[in-house]
Chains A and B, each alone.
Chain A
């Protein structure tokens, strides 16, 4: 069974940093592109970051709203992806979901983890 488990969320002050982790199991992690997607309280889904498999270059993409502040990375030896979040703003408050590209190129995202809540507040 595919499982994605996020961790690292919590309450943090504006301007500070936080690192989220997502531990994967149940599939060959290195074969898949992975992504972080967030959802502010009562709002819709917002894509945050994406990282391709090493076979596809391991390149990354970030939403304009987080570019230069957030960095996605992966450790295939541990089946983990990370989201390093710097210079956090109150508008970064959200549940952050880890998800996998479902199959090959442009096949949507699934399954999703349970999410980890990040609250940015003074």
Chain B
């Protein structure tokens, strides 16, 4: 079955750029989506179709996808961006990555 691999944790200083990666076999041939989940809250779609931002998502969130890696980039990271982030793609079924805890310190 298809697998997506994310680093368990990423740390970033406020105002700096955070990059969260998601790896999968030929992932660049699929569309990647990204979700943010804060403690006690439901997930929130922040990027779809590799690079598209849903309405209401700040411009500091961006995405890319090429080769075997999709990347979520948060520019000018703020304390409010501290959360778990999950990537997702379709293979023969819906697949989620294991999640990355972003710490802003």
A→B interface (CB under 8 Å): 35, 37, 44-47, 50, 61, 63-64, 97, 102-103, 106-115
Contact = CB atoms under 8 A, between A and B. Distances in A.
Contact of B49 (A50, A108, A111, A115): A108
A82 B29 CA distance: 32
Contact of B45 (A47, A50, A108): A108
Nearest to B44: A110
Contacts of B93: 47, 50, 61, 63-64
A115 B1 CA distance: 27
B101 to A, nearest CB: 11
Nearest to B43: A112
Contacts, number: 73
Nearest to A62: B93
B42 A112 contact: yes
A43 B63 CA distance: 24
Contacts of A44: 84, 86, 96-99
B54 interface: yes
B21 to A, nearest CB: 16
Contacts of A102: 45, 48, 54
A45 B54 CA distance: 20
Contacts of A108: 33-35, 45, 47-49, 54, 88
Given A45-B99, A112-B43, 11 more contacts: A44-B98, A45-B96, A50-B94, A61-B94, A63-B93, A63-B94, A64-B1, A106-B49, A107-B31, A107-B48, A110-B45
B86 A45 contact: yes
B95 interface: yes
Contacts of A46: 96
A109 B90 contact: no
- What 3 A-B pairs are tightest by C-beta distance, nearest first? A110-B45, A108-B33, A108-B48
B40 to A, nearest CB: 10
Interface in B19-62: 31, 33-35, 37, 42-45, 47-49, 52, 54
A111 to B, nearest CB: 8
Contacts of A64: 1, 93
